[in-house]
Structure 1
């Protein structure tokens, strides 16, 4: 019975601490639950920008590598090559 009274007195002294810790954990959990989708959406937008940037870089690379000065034969029957 003495042990039960010790436990009861400890709970009596620390009840507010336990309640505030529980409320704090619930608040932090709620904040995280609301922020995770926002960060995922921001990551999706960032990935879209990175993809567009990579596409433009590839197009620029292909434009630089393109042979602009191609020599075309003067006529289809030109055998002077």
Structure 2
């Protein structure tokens, strides 16, 4: 069985629930079979790995807050097919 290659994707993501705080993320995804590790470039770099088991309806949800003093969290949703897995 051939080993699947890792996949890198740069995706602009928009959030409907945080227009006041930070509505767009530029996200670099490092996609492997069991997880998608992403880097967010905002005020500071943020790294997190999301196991595919946490998908909801083939969608990864990223909850991100670029301002640590704020309680506003932005939810960014990405359909699996956008990663071209």
Which TM-score band (shorter chain)? under 0.3
Report which of the two structures shows the higher radius of gyration computed on alpha carbons: 1
TM-score by length of 1: 0.15
TM-score by length of 2: 0.14
1 or 2, which has the higher strand percentage? 2
